[in-house]
Structure 1
């Protein structure tokens, strides 16, 4: 597969706010339909990364427009709007981008390690449906290993390294006596679960009620963490009683509206969702404090400078793994030539020109042709990897083979 056919097209927090990113968010249902259409378009390798920070489509295609069209058929935003805001990268530039995204270097909060889990989920979804081929599989293996090494060997992910944790910091700095407040957390996916754990571990909060569209899921997490849960049908009553409400769902439209909060009293609302699952207009009410993911990313983090100091080390680790992937890719490109030369040598041997090797003047020993052929191919592969001189290898391979068989 030609690396120049590998594209990434995306938007992120750098040029768009949460409301715009929300119009290009991709749910699992949309993702499923996108992959169905990818098959019809004969796109064999593709995956979509849709988070609160970004929506990106990665794929092997004839051009980026094909991928953008495929993506935007499933989003509220149009392809024309997407192109005005998007960055498009191709080939090795796209490879470098994926390495940096997985490292947390391109995150709204520098070093955000939650992106690794989000990449894994996005790739697993595509792999289970047959859209992760040889190129992406091997690339992602190098990318995730690089990210793991950065996590283990640098302090890039130290301190406040996710939006979910930034929410905890916001509450700690802006809400008095948090541990005694009535907290409602809506959404018990990965971000919701992490947020709930952080509320307990860092704020010592215990008066927490979990609500999820699937009641069983909320119940399981509530039992695991020792908190309460309720049904989605009782959401209005829980909103009324809550002092703090956190929303980490992926509904296509707001599940909490301004109207629901008109007479609900003083509350702090934190929207961790993209698209917004708390209507932005709710923040206009004088008794309501509303923050979203963009607001949380601006929180002053005392560990930021320390993490910034780790960027050069992270880039060095990325460079090492990128070089390893390039070496794999180069050898992958050589496979057809190696196979062709091997077949030619097999054909030559069938001509009975090189059947035996003389161990001394009195004895002739016939050896399997594969011994010499494989030795020749191994030697050729080594030269192709280190010398990069296209066009010379076939003649050299024949010479090597003749030398092996007649000496």
Structure 2
């Protein structure tokens, strides 16, 4: 599957589920951690697939890559998830060719995010591709595609207000607390998990609630202590989780554990608790969610919050789509030119052979550097003509004729 004829837009697929057709409990069944990701890539290699990557966030799980058919990718993904293929298919969307390309651009721009313009997706996309690249599952096509998507995302961020204002899942959590809790700065707040979403949530808590009455717990304790020191907060060990949960009035969960970290035994008979679960899958045990003293909010509920910032972002969508359209066109042109690489390589070899032919006596007196420059000029001119009008065979012959005529 390394041939340029297979690795073209028509054989590129994306299959996934997101917040539009599945709730957080279903999405949680298909969340992918790094161990599962690596296992899927190993299975892909066994099937002859070598350009694949997976994006798994609180809003979506998507698998991208070249395949003979979409269900080859779906089968790979579901082979490692808690959820089965039938459940996935009931909520899945499958895109192919240019539609799949357009989808990657929309995701990277935040147009497909649960909160419109949420820029956190850019970092998540980079990490997803970085992991695949480390496993040698990123080829020229994927590299160019993702770079184009990131370029598009940057242009949209710098030239529109699509990501303007302060709206994200982490900020929505703080907005919820401000609206629902009286005098929140006086409450004991516990934050579990200080990854990217956890860090952003923590900084928003400090900035918008104007409080440092926050305790951080993380699986890697040094990260919690580092952030606590930076912001003047408290840090505690995971071993003291039960004690800290007992003391907390507000608990925010931003972990990526495959199993619940907040259990029924942690929160029952311990006073009223507001728990905001930012994790997929849920990291609060179901039995704990239904206790009378627990009020639980998840990412889907937070994402329904609307304000003037979101209205402003909606007005910026046409500008963002115009930028995407231009970058997609450039990417399509690059893909088209890739088809001509074998011919251009063959032309380069033939030109070098002609230079060394006895008929061209000047070749013995011409500087090698000048020869290379001349050959490169012919190649560039031929590539330019191909870009204007696709006549590969004719242009190959024309290039040779032009070369011969200039040497006579």
Regarding TM over 0.5, the answer is yes
RMSD (CA atoms)? 1.9
How many pairs align? 400
- 1:190–1:367 distance in 2 versus 1, CA, 3 Å: closer
Q: Could you tell me which runs of 5 or more consecutive residues in structure 1 were left unpaired when the two chains were aligned.
A: 358-363
Instruction: State whether residues 191 and 253 of structure 2, in contact with CA within 8 Å, keep that contact through their aligned partners in structure 1.
Output: yes
Deviation at 1:239, TM superposition (A): 1.0
State whether structure 2 residue 117 is matched by structure 1 residue 141. Answer: no
Q: Give the structure 2 partner of residue 286 of structure 1.
A: 292
- 1:282–1:301 distance in 2 versus 1, CA, 3 Å: farther
State whether structure 2 residue 192 is matched by structure 1 residue 186. Answer: yes
Determine the C-alpha separation between the residues in 2 that align with 1:279 and 1:371: 68
Q: Could you tell me which runs of 5 or more consecutive residues in structure 2 were left unpaired when the two chains were aligned.
A: 1-6
Determine the C-alpha separation between the residues in 2 that align with 1:225 and 1:371: 58
Moved more, 224-233 or 266-275: 224-233
Moved more, 15-24 or 338-347: 338-347
Deviation at 1:183, TM superposition (A): 0.2
Determine the C-alpha separation between the residues in 1 that align with 2:90 and 2:361: 66
- 1:243–1:254 distance in 2 versus 1, CA, 3 Å: same
Determine the C-alpha separation between the residues in 1 that align with 2:277 and 2:96: 34
State whether structure 2 residue 170 is matched by structure 1 residue 164. Answer: yes
Q: 1:233-312 counterparts in 2 under 5 A?
A: 233-312=239-318
Moved more, 33-42 or 52-61: 33-42
Moved more, 258-267 or 4-13: 258-267
Deviation at 1:270, TM superposition (A): 0.1
Q: 1:38 aligns with which of 44, 53, 57?
A: 44
Q: Give the structure 2 partner of residue 128 of structure 1.
A: 134
Determine the C-alpha separation between the residues in 2 that align with 1:377 and 1:159: 49
Q: 1:67 aligns with which of 73, 87, 92?
A: 73
Q: TM-score, normalised by structure 2?
A: 0.93
Moved more, 49-58 or 283-292: 283-292
Q: Give the structure 1 partner of residue 399 of structure 2.
A: 397
Determine the C-alpha separation between the residues in 1 that align with 2:407 and 2:323: 45
Q: TM-score, normalised by structure 1?
A: 0.93
Deviations 1:250-273 (A, max 9, x none): 111211133432212111100000
- 1:229–1:371 distance in 2 versus 1, CA, 3 Å: closer
Q: 2:348 aligns with which of 339, 342, 352?
A: 342
Determine the C-alpha separation between the residues in 1 that align with 2:183 and 2:355: 85
Determine the C-alpha separation between the residues in 2 that align with 1:274 and 1:94: 24
Q: Secondary structure at the match of 1:252?
A: coil
Q: Give the structure 1 partner of residue 375 of structure 2.
A: 373
Deviations 1:210-269 (A, max 9, x none): 011222221122112210011111111111111000000011121113343221211110
Q: 1:217-236 counterparts in 2 under 5 A?
A: 217-236=223-242
Deviation at 1:349, TM superposition (A): 4.4
